[in-house]
């Protein structure tokens, strides 16, 4: 194909909060697909906090990006040319694809998405990776019961906003923690959270007041001092799904905090880390439940859509400034 590709590569490993200079915008030729391959055009790109971890040269559940490698994440793309009998030109596909305008991919590395679900971006958000993370982390580890108190941090983001709503569906009392008054209003007025706490103002006293009967489930998206405030309020047999620790992703030194062992022993609480990939053999179950609740009007979503390939890095950096409400997604091109 006689088009120049544009790519975003990792130029150097960020130290602390990533900056624009850690990334390189590079032009490259677009290859032609061979048998069993597809040429796809990037339409929507998911930007996610976990990508920060992949920029470090450190062992994790997913290999780090190499310097000069095209950054990749969840992408919705449209088939431009197909050398696979499973896909036709125009199909919309979802896969872990590069931050580039065009990709040649093995057909089995992507899956066709249900274009009847609108907006299609839901496949990257509530009916995709972040929705599944909320579903399995909350229900498999958190196991909220009717009348229990569930606290969720990062509550107005993609995972957190879904967690709170699923907890409400299960009859829990839900307390969200988020970074602005507007986000807190959104949680209580739009999503049905019982209480929302702006952590930039006060956490400890506000949590005590919001949870007079203690905390049964703490869905942790952020770690750090916000989570420290939760431990003294845990109830007997509390459950703590540890989903993320965004407050520490840009730290250059290991952060010391209160040690959690005593609180866990005193309460017989369960604290368990997980990644959504742990549940890959149950994605069908999760998607069916999430889609049903969405169609029944029990789950609402918000997406922050940034326009333009050139703004992918801005959208990524904005995650660490709390600029997004709900899932952050970049629209790179129109669906044709």
Ligand X SMILES: NC(=O)c1ccc[n+]([C@@H]2O[C@H](COP(=O)([O-])OP(=O)(O)OC[C@H]3O[C@@H](n4cnc5c(N)ncnc54)[C@H](OP(=O)(O)O)[C@@H]3O)[C@@H](O)[C@H]2O)c1
Among 157, 164, 176, 286, binds ligand X (CB under 6 A): 157
Please tell me the distance from the alpha carbon of residue 298 to that of residue 168, in angstroms, as a whole number: 9
Minimum distance between the CB of residue 31 and ligand X, rounded to whole angstroms? 31
User: In the complex with ligand X, which residue's Cβ is closer, 77 or 222?
Assistant: 222
Query: Does residue number 320 form part of the binding site for ligand X (CB under 6 A)?
Result: yes
Cα 57 versus chain centre, distance: 21
Beta carbons of 93 and 77 less than 8 angstroms apart: yes
Question: Does 133 interact with ligand X (rule: CB under 6 A)?
Answer: yes
Interface with ligand X (CB under 6 A), residue from 64, 192, 214, 322: 322
Q: Are 97 and 40 in contact (CB under 8 A)?
A: yes
- Residue 309 to residue 43: CA distance in whole angstroms: 9
Residue of 18, 95, 144, 244 that binds ligand X (CB under 6 A): 244
Distance of CA 141 to the CA centre of its chain: 18
Binding residue for ligand X, selected from 179, 231, 233, 330, defined by CB under 6 A: 179
Q: Using the rule CB under 6 A, give the single segment among 19-27, 107-115, 156-164, 211-219 that binds ligand X.
A: 156-164
Q: What are phi and psi of 63, to 5 degrees?
A: -65, 150
Asked if 227 interacts with ligand X (CB under 6 A), we say no
- Regarding 246 and contact with ligand X (CB under 6 A), the answer is yes
DSSP state of 194: S
Q: Per the structure block, which two tokens stand in for 282?
A: 């149950």
Distance from C-alpha of 317 to C-alpha of 52, rounded to nearest angstrom: 10
Where in 185-224 is the site for ligand X (CB under 6 A)? Answer: 221-222
Which residue ranges make up the site for ligand X (CB under 6 A)? 48-50, 130, 133, 154, 156-160, 178-180, 183, 221-222, 226, 243-247, 274-276, 319-320, 322, 324, 327-328
């Amino acid at each position: 194909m006689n088009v120049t590709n544009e790519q975003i590569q990792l130029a150097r490993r960020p130290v602390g909060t990533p900056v624009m200079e850690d990334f390189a915008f590079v032009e490259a030729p677009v290859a032609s697909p061979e048998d069993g391959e597809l040429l796809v055009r990037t339409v929507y790109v998911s930007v996610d906090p976990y990508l920060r971890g992949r920029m470090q040269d450190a062992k994790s559940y997913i290999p780090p990006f190499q310097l000069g490698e095209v950054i990749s994440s969840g992408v919705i793309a449209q088939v431009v040319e197909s050398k696979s009998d499973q896909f036709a030109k125009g199909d919309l596909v979802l896969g872990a694809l590069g931050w580039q305008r065009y990709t040649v991919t093995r057909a089995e590395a992507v899956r066709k998405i249900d274009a009847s679900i609108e907006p299609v971006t839901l496949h990257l958000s509530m009916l995709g990776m972040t929705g599944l993370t909320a579903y399995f982390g909350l229900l498999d580890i958190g196991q909220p019961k009717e009348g229990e108190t569930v606290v969720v941090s990062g509550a107005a983001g993609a995972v957190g906003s879904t967690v709170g709503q699923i907890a409400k569906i299960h009859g829990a009392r839900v307390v969200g923690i988020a970074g602005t008054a507007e986000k807190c209003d959104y949680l209580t007025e739009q999503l049905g959270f019982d209480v929302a706490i702006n952590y930039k103002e006060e956490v400890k006293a506000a949590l005590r007041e919001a949870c007079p009967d203690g905390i049964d489930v703490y869905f942790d998206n952020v770690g750090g001092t916000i989570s420290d405030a939760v431990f003294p309020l845990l109830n007997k047999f509390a459950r703590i799904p540890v989903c993320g620790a965004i407050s520490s992703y840009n730290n250059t030194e290991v952060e010391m905090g209160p040690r959690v062992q005593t609180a866990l022993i005193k309460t017989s609480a369960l604290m368990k880390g997980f990644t959504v990939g742990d549940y890959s053999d149950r994605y069908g179950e999760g998607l069916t439940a999430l889609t049903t609740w969405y169609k029944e009007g029990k789950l609402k979503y918000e997406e922050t859509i940034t326009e333009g390939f050139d703004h992918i890095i801005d959208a990524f950096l904005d995650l660490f400034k709390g600029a997004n409400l709900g899932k952050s997604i970049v629209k790179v091109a129109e669906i044709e």
